Amino acid sequence: MTVILSGFADEISPDPAEQLAVLAAESISHLELRSAWSTSVADLSDAELGRFRRALDDAGVRVSAIGSPIGKIPVEAPLGPELERMRRIADLAGELGTRIVRVFSFFLQKEEPHERHREQVIDRMRALASIAEERGLVLAHENEKEIYGDRPERCADLIAAVGSPALRATFDAANFVQCGVRPHDEAYPLLRPYLVYLQVKDALAATGEVVPAGQGDGQVRETLAALRDSGFEGFVSLEPHLALAERYGGFSGPEGFAVAARALKSLLAELSIGWR
* DSSP three-state, residue 114: helix
- Judge whether 143 and 149 are in contact, CB under 8 Å: yes
pTM for this prediction: 0.96
- The CB density around residue 7, as the number of other CB atoms within 10 Å, is 30
pLDDT in the model for residue 27:
97
Q: How confident is the model at residue 1 (pLDDT cuts 50, 70, 90)?
A: confident
* DSSP three-state, residue 77: coil
Q: Give the residue from 161, 163, 146 showing the smallest Cα distance to 71.
A: 146
Lowest mean pLDDT among 91-105, 158-172, 213-227, 248-262: 248-262
Lowest mean pLDDT among 8-17, 157-166, 216-225, 237-246: 237-246
State mean pLDDT over 119-140: 98
Q: Which amino acid is present at 198?
A: L
pLDDT in the model for residue 110:
85
State mean pLDDT over 69-92: 98
Query: CA-to-CA distance for 26 and 257, rounded, in angstroms?
Result: 9
Q: How confident is the model at residue 239 (pLDDT cuts 50, 70, 90)?
A: very high
pLDDT beyond 80 at 246: no
Q: pLDDT of 163-185, one tens digit each?
A: 999 999 999 999 999 999 999 99
Query: CA-to-CA distance for 191 and 239, rounded, in angstroms?
Result: 19
